[in-house]
Structure 1
Amino acid sequence: MTIVAEVVRSGFVESVHHGIVALTGRPGVGDTGSPFFPRSSNKPLQTVGMLRSGLVPREFADLAMASASHDGEPFHVERVTAMLAAAGLGPEALRCPADLPLGETAKRAYLRTGGEPAPVLMNCSGKHAGMLATCVANGWDLESYLDPKHPLQVALADAVSELAGEPIAAAGVDGCGAPVLAISPDALARAFLRLVEAAPGTPERQVADAMRARPELVAGPESEDTVLMRAVPGLLVKRGADGVSAAALPGVGGIAVKISDGSARARVPVLLAALRKLGVEPPLIEEPVLGGGRPVGEVRAVW
């Protein structure tokens, strides 16, 4: 396994991170052809499947919300609630687990009000709201919408496989309870590039355009996904748990990153390095190593 990042503290390399990086049309790093679980980086592909299955979004921006790993800010929760209401449903229809906001700022503010964990706060609730709205549009059962054999999940798996250009290698259960589908890093990078290079008005392009138009819905105001999509015109980015990220820029290429030990702090420097390999100069997003509450080092890409 290739070392893709190292942690430097006070001038000394204290640890390293191994990983895999797939780049469309260019040599990658590590075994980019073997399947893995992209976690939430699957979401935009699943949203394409929802559109192909008859989802009619209440608003264009709801497609960004359905593809999100949101921070749980009040505007995120309000939009998820509105998506459900437009389908004639309430938050009680959600089958994702109760949780607190993912974003630290949103979590602290919510806890100060005495708030308790709730499914609508869970970072995947937008995806679940989109899934439920798709079921309503088709008259499918709502109670079992997370079952891999449910017509919804069969349709979404078909969409992911078609976009990836390879069969689904395995189906697991993601943290939110929905199926997560294993494809290779090469396939993930290829699928993201398909989204941004699709013809305007197609389901693929609608999802990419919605995410790029409203990146604060996809994650949070200060997340790397939001910062990068705002800074680089046309760039699509979607992070996933356990050190995963995927990105694509039309006419340039697609990227898939997987940090082997699941480290989130190594993900961003490696993604920025991958963008530079494609000739894109991303904004500086620092990943400082702290000591005594102040920066004493950094996490840097080395591949």
Structure 2
Amino acid sequence: MSQPTTLPSHRTAGEPPVVREPAHVPLAHVVRAGLVEGIHHGSVVVLAADGSVQFQAGDIEAAFYPRSALKPLQAVGLLRAGLPSLDDPALALVAASHSGEERHLAAARRILATGQLAEGALRNVPDLPYGPAVREEWIRRGLGPTRLAQNCSGKHAAMLLTARTRGWDLDDYLDHGHPLQRELAATVEDLTGQGIAHVTVDGCGAPLFSVSLHGLTRSAARLATAAPGTDEGRLAQAMREHPQMVSGSGRDVARLVRAVPGLLAKDGFEGVQIAALPDGRAVGVKIADGGDRARMPVTAAALALCGVDPEVLAPFAATPVLGGGVQVGTLHAAGALARQAS
């Protein structure tokens, strides 16, 4: 397993988060027939419109890897670095963990075609489509893993296009010392307001920067409140108007964005979620065990603290626990978060 690599110092955005084992707390309970069967620990932060911390539970200042929740920041970095103009669905795909639907593959091809780039230039890890239904159909057709079907192909296509536009080398665009990656790191530091603690390699092969949950959530608020026409504003508009391009048909994040007017949201592997409203109210969630099932109920409870209508959040606030094919309980937010949200 590769060890984290300290990023060469180029910071102007403040000190990096504290490197320590996070002090997570119980955030969600799995309740079966009235008894708590399981507990998901984690950390959560809710920011008020003025950027102050309205609520926190767990450790919001420790360094952690946001995984794909970092993609919107990387997308802004690509725009700042010279990514040519894209249509809004394709721009949304740059920040996506897509399901591998045909519209996703088509948008990735459009990004590559803009720079006259071939699919073979991609350096992300080949994979089957992320969406279960799409994956099953893919396998029925006898298709195997490809770089285009992998859920990060939009980001990688945009990295290649930006590197070509700037005249940078394409073969090593994933090296953390590449000029492209150094510009993306600078954008992450700017938007989070803090230095990067470590850089390692994400599942797709791209550099992954560690920040704090507080810093990540602060960056989501900055994107959500950005003026139209700015790089941040352009990306936020694309993500809001095309949530199905950021995730996929039926995915919970796309449904949440459609349900809450003006919401900007992105999930990440290992139980990470950010969401922000147009006035700057924002939430950040990290589930300690990386399990995905607690991510959305905790996010819904946090958004309730932001003043989002509980009726709108009801479909996301609890996950049924089944026994014999019928519901016998729920997975829902617990502890101080649940008390505050009720």
TM-score normalised per structure 1: 0.97
2:324 match:
292
Residue 240 of structure 1 and its aligned partner are, at CA, apart by 0.1
AA of the residue aligned to 2:46: L
Higher mean C-alpha displacement, 52-61 vs 159-168: 52-61
Residue 105 of structure 2 is aligned to residue 77 of structure 1: yes
Aligned counterpart for 1:196 among listed residues 195, 217, 224: 224
- Is the partner of 2:88 in helix, strand or coil? coil
**1:226 Cα offset (Å):** 0.5
Aligned to 1:19: 42
8 A contact 2:222–2:280 mirrored in 1: no
State the alpha-carbon separation in 1 of the partners of residues 203 and 149 from structure 2.
14
Seen in structure 2, the aligned counterparts of structure 1 residues 295 and 74 have a Cα distance that, compared at 3 Å, is farther
Unaligned runs of 5+ in 2: 1-23, 338-342
Q: In structure 1, the residue corresponding to 2:63 is in which secondary structure?
A: coil
Q: Give the Cα separation in 1 of the matches to 2:145 and 2:229.
A: 38
SS at 1:122's partner residue? coil
CA distance in 2, matches of 1:59, 1:45: 18
Question: Contact (CA 8 Å) 2:240, 2:263: kept in 1 or not?
Answer: yes
The answer to whether the 8 A contact 2:221-2:277 is kept is yes
CA RMSD of aligned residues (A): 1.2
Matched, 1:272 2:297: no
User: Which residue of structure 2 aligns with residue 3 of structure 1?
Assistant: 26
| Counterpart Cα distance in 1 of 2:207 and 2:100 | 22
Q: Deviations over 1:247-268 (max 9, x none)?
A: 1002251111000010100001
Aligned to 2:58: 30
The 5 Å alignment of 1:1-303 reads 1-24=24-47, 25=52, 26-281=54-309, 282-283=312-313, 284-285=315-316, 286-302=318-334, 303=337
Which amino acid in the other structure matches residue 153 of structure 1?
Q
- Quote the Cα distance in structure 2 between the aligned partners of 1:292 and 1:124: 37
What per-residue deviation string (whole Å, max 9, x for no partner) do you get for residues 19-72 of structure 1? Answer: 100112213111111111100000000000000001113313221000000001
Corresponding residue number in structure 1 for 2:17: none
Alpha-carbon distance, 1:17 to partner: 0.6
Number of equivalenced pairs:
303
Q: Deviations over 1:251-303 (max 9, x none)?
A: 25111100001010000100000000111124312522233344332210013
Q: Contact 1:95–1:119 at 8 Å: present in 2 too?
A: yes
The 1-side partners of 2:324 and 2:93 are apart by 38
How far is the alpha carbon of 1:12 from its aligned partner?
Answer: 1.9
In 2: Cα distance, 1:292 partner to 1:90 partner: 50
Report the AA paired with residue 274 of structure 2.
A
Identical residues among aligned pairs (%): 47
- Report the 3-state secondary structure (helix = DSSP H, G, I; strand = E; otherwise coil) of the residue aligned with 2:274: strand
The question of whether the paired residues in 1 share the 8 Å contact of 2:90 and 2:110 is answered with no
Distance 1:100 1:274 in 2: 33
In 2, Cα distance between equivalents of 1:76 and 1:10: 41
2-side partners of 1:103 and 1:166: how far apart?
Answer: 34
Does the 8 A contact of 1:72 with 1:101 survive in 2?
yes
Give per-residue Cα distances to partners, 1:87-120, cap 9 Å, x unaligned: 1112111111110111111111111111111111
What is the letter of the counterpart of residue 184 of structure 1? S
State the AA in 1 paired with 2:196. I
Deviation at 1:236, TM superposition (A): 0.3
- Separation in 1, partners of 2:235, 2:64: 23
SS at match of 1:265: coil
SS of match in other structure, 2:148: helix
Contact 1:252 1:278 in 2 (8 A): no
In structure 2, what residue type is equivalent to 1:10?
A
Write the letter of the residue equivalent to 1:161.
E
For 2:87 and 2:326, locate their aligned partners in 1 and report how far apart those are by CA, in whole Å.
Answer: 43
Q: Which stretch shows the higher mean deviation, 27-36 or 162-171?
A: 27-36
The secondary structure found in structure 2 opposite 1:255 is strand
